[in-house]
Amino acid sequence: MAATTMTTTLGFVLPTGLSPRRGGLRVSIVRCSASSLTTSTGSTASGIVEKPWSSYDARLVLEDGSVWPAKSFGAPGTRVAELVFNTSLTGYQEILTDPSYAGQFVLMTNPQIGNTGVNLDDEESKQCFLAGLVIRSLSISTSNWRCTKTLADYLTERNLMGIYDLDTRAITRRLREEGSLNGVLSTEQTKTDEELLHMSRSWDIVGIDLISDVSCKSPYEWVDKTDPEWDFNTNTRDGKPYRVIAYDFGIKHNILRRLSSYGCQTTVVPSTFPASEALKMNPDGILFSNGPGDPSAVPYAVETVKELLGKVPVYGICMGHQLLGQALGGKTYKMKFGHHGGNHPVRNNRTGQVEISAQNHNYAVDPASLPGGVEVTHVNLNDGSCAGLSFPAMNVMSLQYHPEASPGPHDSDNAFREFIELMKRSKQSS
């Protein structure tokens, strides 16, 4: 047996010589590992039969120096990204295919993931953009009438890394205390902890244009509506068609489905599509979609938004909301650990009503930086951050969160109706 000396801090493993970001009880322990080789018959050289369960063959190394042994499922390899946690109880497939998670590992706080498998109907885009999935327990079976394959098979086919059987509660607490951390997922045993730690500290998500990689490359028409089986709000539509241009900064399919269900004829355009070309299409309104990363890293998108302000009604969602904030003269900032989950309470300042919302963002608009006339319409009740804007003089509305949910509650779906009303009033006054 070979012995290696390690240091532990509150349940996670640190290589000797590395210190956590914050202080903690440091205890030296001895960690043993088997050094014998496995024979072609499946037994070890010493005659011991190989264990029938998975072994710890992966690591999550965070920039604070913590090393979290884990078991892998999905694709092998080594990848670096920012680690965030998501508090949703369901909807892991929608999260996997949400382009807004590009450049990030997603840790699910719900302890068991994979129970319902995966299916084609729950895709929010044509591929997975996040860097990896971190979970406590991988379900050993699936039970759902729509299931077509297991989560592990799905990740393998999509070349996406996943790890499980690590203390996700402890990691979540660390992220809440320290903020989002860069990290490395690896199944490569040839790489040392020190090498992986160096990788995590040498990379930064701030200032990277992640939108270019997730946006479509050419315009296309979207026609699919929400399946009638899942459509929950059909009573407030006037049936009149509205022509909408949707800028794809990482748009989710269900945003497009909700627009179609509300009677919009939607053309999706790339993030770099010229404002002048969009106006030539004579739209009734323009939607700026959700997307990944830092809004300050895409000045070209802010300039596009500026060129369109006041020309037609505009509606921003998530990244689109942040770009509108900057285009109106405000500033954005990186949050400590962001909002990721389907249970965030938001107050509508106009009505006083509280909505339970689905959110996914690491940046927010600073309301103190906004010019006069711009109204903060919604506030996140967890931390008081800006969750919605309106600028009536230019027919502007925006939400920091996701009115289409998917996954999440449907409290905010009426925001699409408000966009329809905004376009309707604009047409009547022109």
Residue 337, C-beta contacts closer than 8 angstroms, at least 6 positions apart: 84, 85, 175, 176, 179, 180, 362
Burial 416-426 (b: 16+ CB within 10 A, else e): bbbbbebbbee
Residue 160, C-beta contacts closer than 8 angstroms, at least 6 positions apart: 74, 75, 96, 128, 130, 132, 133
Residue 8, C-beta contacts closer than 8 angstroms, at least 6 positions apart: 14, 26, 27, 29
E-only strand ranges, 248-313: 264-269, 285-288
264 among known catalytic residues: no
- DSSP state at residue 387: E
CA distance 260 to 243: 10
Describe the strand order of the beta sheet including 314-317 as a list of residue ranges. Answer: 220-222, 264-269, 242-247, 285-288, 314-317, 396-399, 386-391, 375-380, 331-348, 354-366
402 among known catalytic residues: yes
In this structure, which amino acid lies at residue 313? P
Choose the catalytic residue: 318, 340, 344, 361: 318
Query: Among 298, 297, 243, which residue's Cα sits nearest to residue 271?
Result: 298
Query: Among 210, 192, 199, 162, which residue's Cα sits nearest to residue 62?
Result: 199
User: Which residue bears the tokens 């399946």?
Assistant: 227
253 among known catalytic residues: no
In this structure, which amino acid lies at residue 348? N
Neighbours of 325 (CB within 10 A): 28
Choose the catalytic residue: 253, 321, 340, 402: 402
User: Which residue bears the tokens 């327990």?
Assistant: 137
Active-site residue list? 318, 402, 404
